[in-house]
Structure 1
Amino acid sequence: MDEDFIRFSDDIVSGDAVQRTSCEKCRRPLRVCWCSYLPDTPVKINGKIIILQHPDEEKRNLKTGPMLFHGMTSGQCLIFYGKKFPSAKHQGLKEMLEEPHTYVLYPGPQSKCITDISHTHPQGESYNLVLIDGTWQQAKSMYFHSPFLHSLPQVSLPELGPSLYVIRTQPSEYCLSTVESAALAMSIMEKDKSIVDKLVHPLKALCTFQLKYGAVEHQDKVTLLELGQYRKPVGKRTMKFLRQTAHKSVLEKL
């Protein structure tokens, strides 16, 4: 695969400005490299995972997309960067999105639970799962500005949580990281629960490393609001999200 197709930024542990040798695969400093926690045998599925990643997400030190990329069989996890999809720079993406049984993992009024999709999916036929990788607001904007995605069937995950990604604040306890979402979706489509444990193992290691070096566990925004500990101003977008997901008692405190 072309080196320009998949790019991972160097990762620096907060508070340490000393130049250190980094792993060539995950680009993490060697003392916090999670590569040894990748599956011994890369996960192989009867389809592809297509990650559409916001440019800001690509720059994050603690992104989880690379865990999918390196934890799966070569060519089964593809990452494209941008804010609108597909575009002329996304070589081959439009053709993949046009393939049969291509689903976009995006919750909404029209989405169907992926468990139901797995029951009706023709046995032995390939499928594509499209994930939008960014913050909640970035994902909404990317979907809105990508009309081609609107023609794809929307699927959603069963409500499970909380996320194992404890070093990053999630909107609610049912919001999962990219690697968790993809792993759960694949486990349902493949009817193989072991996929989740195999692919989230590096995430657990990453969180352990960061907590060891001074990071703190983050609670989701809804929980912080319930406890009266959310210190940032609550804007219109956050309020709209909370009306969709939060308990009535949270809204009464705002």
Structure 2
Amino acid sequence: MADSFAEKAVWDDLSNIPADPPRMRDICRKCERPVPVCWCSALPPQPLVPKSRIILLQHPAEEKRALRTAPMLSVGLAPGKCLIYKGKKFPKFDSELEAILADEKSLLLYPSINSIPIEQLDLSQGPFNLVLIDGTWPQAKAIYTSSSILHGMRQAKLVRSGNSNYIIRTQPTDGCLSTLETAVEALSILEQDDSYKEQLLRPLHALCQFQLNNGAVTHQSKEFLIKHNQYPKLIGKRLNRLLRNAENLQDHEGEAEIKH
């Protein structure tokens, strides 16, 4: 008797499954997000046309992230001003990308020991191809390590970047920025025009505000949580290194300000 009741319950559940597949939400053709959470209304009225261009070397896992920021660059800038190449190793037999990376006007934004502050560049040598690695820090480091062509490039870094406005995502340390914020900050320096930051960051603000309005919470960096004894996990070696590097950078900047 119990078996017959269980069998009937199963059949009742199956009979309630709709014959047609569920209706998918309408997708915006420009940002490829569901229309109710589309951020395209926050984009510049017309795509911006900088002299320099952005080249993103994107880890394949980034494409699966629902809240990624790279698309805000690709649609906020004019066609040809933001090129995206996907992979874990570059140039990966791509002759066009290989030519870009070998160009003397190409600049890799990466915090290596050979990087110079981007503010110290001779801007008369531009316009530049600004190359960024799009992925988490471990993914970016793996791409850099496996792509030997990147090692010989001119390299620059952002020294004073402030904290991220991407407040719905946890950053490793204070001062870490999203791909969009890093590119926009560097581009505004190369173009000597702060309006790039003002206009290209609006979609990020719109995205964060929508998420906060629908239950998301503001995220502090792991560095902040650790300093305030709020981090719930054990600290690994990689995060320890990041925190030490951040502290060393702050100490170095403090000494430089005192000397000046």
TM over 0.5: yes
CA distance in structure 2 between the aligned counterparts of 1:177 and 1:200, rounded to whole angstroms: 11
Q: How far 1:108 sits from its partner (Å)?
A: 2.0
Amino acid at match of 1:59: K
Task: Pick from 71, 95, 101 the counterpart of residue 97 of structure 1.
Answer: 101
The answer on 1:121 being equivalent to 2:126 is: no
Q: How far 1:224 sits from its partner (Å)?
A: 0.5
Change (3 A) 1:75 1:226: same
CA distance in structure 2 between the aligned counterparts of 1:131 and 1:92, rounded to whole angstroms: 16
CA contact (8 A) 1:69 1:77 kept: yes
Task: Pick from 89, 112, 116 the counterpart of residue 116 of structure 2.
Answer: 112
CA contact (8 A) 1:103 1:128 kept: yes
Q: How far 1:217 sits from its partner (Å)?
A: 0.9
Partner of 2:212: 211
CA contact (8 A) 1:222 1:246 kept: no
230-239 vs 163-172, greater mean Cα deviation: 230-239
5 Å-filtered alignment, 1:173-192, equals 173-192=174-193
Give structure 1 stretches of 5+ with no counterpart.
1-16, 248-254
5 Å-filtered alignment, 1:208-247, equals 208-246=209-247
Task: Pick from 22, 33, 46 the counterpart of residue 41 of structure 1.
Answer: 46
* TM-score where L is the length of structure 2: 0.84
Change (3 A) 1:91 1:208: farther
Q: How far 1:91 sits from its partner (Å)?
A: 5.0
Amino acid at match of 2:203: P
Partner of 1:31: 36
CA distance in structure 2 between the aligned counterparts of 1:18 and 1:179, rounded to whole angstroms: 32
Secondary structure of the corresponding residue to residue 31 of structure 1: helix
Give deviations 1:144-202, integer Å, cap 9, x for gaps: 11110001011011322210000111111201111111111011001001110111000
Amino acid at match of 2:47: P
Q: How far 1:98 sits from its partner (Å)?
A: 1.6
CA contact (8 A) 1:51 1:133 kept: yes
70-79 vs 125-134, greater mean Cα deviation: 125-134
Q: Could you list the runs of 4 or more consecutive aligned residues of structure 1 that deviate by over 4 angstroms after TM superposition? A: none
Give structure 2 stretches of 5+ with no counterpart.
1-21, 249-260
Secondary structure of the corresponding residue to residue 190 of structure 2: helix
* TM-score where L is the length of structure 1: 0.86
Q: How many residues in Structure 1 have an aligned counterpart in Structure 2?
A: 227
Partner of 2:251: none
